[in-house]
Amino acid sequence: MAIKIYKRTSAGRRNSSVLKSDEITTSRPEKSLLRPLKKKGGRNNQGFITSRHRGGGNKRMYRIIDFRRNKDAQSAEVRTIEYDPNRSCNIALVQYEDGEKRYILAPLGLKIGQKIYNGEKAEPRLGNCLPLSRIPLGLEVHNIEMYPGSGGKLVRAAGGVARLAAREGDSAQLILPSGEMRIVNAACRATIGQLGNVEQGSVRVGKAGRKRHMGRRPHVRGSAMNPVAHPMGGGEGRRSGGRDPVSPTGKLSKGGKTRKRRKNSNKMILRRRRNVRYGQLVL
């Protein structure tokens, strides 16, 4: 979708932009696939804040997404392309031959009325979901399972795309958008194509109020706080902190290793991720 830049009618509009809704075909979601979404404000089940700077925001309803794509016996027709407030990419409403409706992640180029298929017998075409063992090498995929039947976990953000690099025995090698090269079971399913809404990362919010509508509260630097509120607070004048950057609880926030040692997961990573531009692959 193209980006619309506002006229500079005020200070907030001067630096803001939005995505044009050219691909969106309806603003009314399917009621049978909606569920209420409760706000937690970044708190866990004990009431402690575990994710800072969250709270408020516009009220949302959750759309049930079919990440498994496990209905193999029949085809599905694309009925609508819709906006989803809970994710960066758009979603598509598909209806199967028996009348059942499901939401899927909408890939780039998906059209209304297009037929899509799931399963091993499906052709490797845009929008179809099939095992990695049946996908030709070099093809672009998204919504990839990490374990067979678990549902898509990898590459689900707007503009996301991975590439099937190699296949050996029961395993397949994928190049993810982050540049990481990972081994996945070849029986895991993936959907053909790149996710739509590619220009979503280029939108400029423009003002603080719009960020509050998204459910994001103000982010205050630790060095601007008092010593009682943050380990890096206090000091006469502008102090650099006098220690490595840490979180309010004292954990390293830049470069400190926080990943738990998981042998089964580590051996599946052939190449670590690296800093790449949004939506681009490192080959």
The tokens for 249 are 């609880």
- pTM (two decimals): 0.88
Go through the domains of the chain in sequence order and give each one's CATH number. 20-34+61-200+261-271 (2.30.30.30)
pLDDT at residue 148 above 70? yes
Q: Which two tokens stand for residue 29?
A: 């979601």
**Per-residue pLDDT at 278:** 43
The answer to whether 221 and 52 have CB atoms below 8 angstroms apart is no
To which residue do tokens 């706080």 refer?
A: 225
Residue type, 142: H
Per-residue pLDDT reduced to its tens digit, 204-237: 999 999 999 999 999 999 989 999 999 999 888 8
Provide the pLDDT for residue 274: 67
pLDDT score of 263 more than 80 = no
The dihedral through the CA atoms of 96, 100, 105, 109 has a sign that is positive
Q: Is the pLDDT of residue 63 over 70?
A: yes
Residue 180 has pLDDT above 90, yes or no: yes
Q: Which helix (H) or strand (E) holds 264?
A: helix 263-266
Residue 84 has pLDDT above 90, yes or no: yes
CB atoms within 10 A of CB 57: 16
